[in-house]
Structure 1
Amino acid sequence: MSISKELLDILACPKCKGDIRLNASQDGLICDHCQLLYEIRDGIPIMLIEEAKPLEK
Structure 2
Amino acid sequence: MSDAFNTPVSVDPRLLEVLVCPVTRGRLTYDRERNELVSAGAKLAFPIRDGVPIMLAEDARPLD
Establish whether TM, by shorter chain, passes 0.5: yes
Summarize deviations over 1:11-42 as a string: whole Å, max 9, x none. 00000100000014150000001110000011
2:35 match: 27
Q: Which has the higher contact order (CA 8 A, sep 6+)?
A: 1
- What is the CA RMSD across the aligned residues, in angstroms? 1.1
Mapped pair 1:5 → 2:10:
no
* Percent of matched pairs sharing the same residue: 38
Answer with 1 or 2: which has the greater Rg: 2
Unpaired segments ≥5 residues, structure 2: 1-8
TM-score, with normalisation over the residues of structure 2? 0.82
4+ runs of 1 displaced by more than 3 Å? none
TM-score, with normalisation over the residues of structure 1? 0.91
